[in-house]
């Protein structure tokens, strides 16, 4: 079960990424740092941001955006500028890409990156947190 996190841990992850996460993702992480997200008829395991306040939070946030992004960037075909935010468990990822009009910002909507295929990521809609 995902635990909520705080603004300071989200901001620390953004500092390490060098980019601000979209508002919907920031809210979602503060409500439940990780957990399941449904999009495009599939369930995705949302990556957390590192939360080091105690052992329980450290354990629950071990599979985090920073580590998963670094690992994915080693794979052939993974977009080098992408931020990995979720996995479907089959090797496909939900990613965030920089906005072409403002490269210092990420698109608000994520993309699906399919492993093992030579196709551009496809932008999708995700349910917004309440």
pLDDT tens figures, 34-87: 999 998 889 999 999 999 999 999 899 889 999 999 999 999 899 999 999 999
Segment 105-111 shows an average pLDDT of: 92
Domain-embedded: residue 129: no
Count of beta carbons in the 10 Å neighbourhood of residue 127: 10
Kind of pairing between the strands at 93-96 and 36-39 = unpaired
128 domain residue, yes or no: no
Question: Phi and psi for 40 in degrees, rounded to 5?
Answer: 55, 35
**Structure token digits, residue 66:** 């920073």
Q: How many domains does the chain have?
A: 1
105 or 44: which leads in pLDDT: 44
Give the DSSP H or E segment for 123: strand 122-123
Q: Is residue 64 part of a domain?
A: yes
- Does residue 98 belong to any structural domain of this protein? yes
The answer to whether position 94 is within a domain reads yes
The predicted pLDDT at position 64 comes to: 94
pLDDT of residue 130: 62
pLDDT of residue 45: 96
Q: Tell me what percent of the residues of the chain surpass a pLDDT of 90.
A: 70
Domain assignment of residue 88, given as a range? 7-123
**In this structure, what CATH number is given to the domain that contains residue 81?**
3.40.1580
- 130 located within any domain: no
Q: Is the pLDDT of residue 5 over 80?
A: yes
- Is residue 67, in this structure, part of any structural domain at all? yes
Distance (Å, rounded) from C-alpha 115 to C-alpha 20?
25
- Looking at the predicted structure, is the pLDDT value of residue 110 above 90? yes
Asked whether residue 103 carries a pLDDT value surpassing 90, the answer given is: no
Whether residue 29 is contained in a domain is answered as yes
């Amino acid at each position: 079960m995902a635990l909520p996190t705080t603004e300071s841990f989200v901001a620390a992850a953004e500092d390490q990424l060098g980019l601000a996460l979209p508002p919907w993702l920031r809210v979602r992480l503060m409500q439940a740092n990780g957990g399941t997200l449904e999009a495009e008829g599939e369930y995705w395991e949302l990556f957390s941001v590192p939360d080091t306040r105690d052992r329980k939070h450290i354990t629950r946030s071990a599979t985090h955006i920073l580590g998963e992004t670094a690992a994915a960037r080693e794979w052939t075909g993974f977009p080098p500028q992408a931020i990995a935010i979720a996995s479907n468990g089959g090797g496909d990822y939900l990613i965030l890409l920089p906005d072409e009009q403002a490269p210092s910002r990420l698109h608000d909507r994520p993309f699906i990156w399919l492993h093992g295929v030579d196709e551009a990521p496809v932008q999708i809609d995700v349910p917004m947190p309440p």
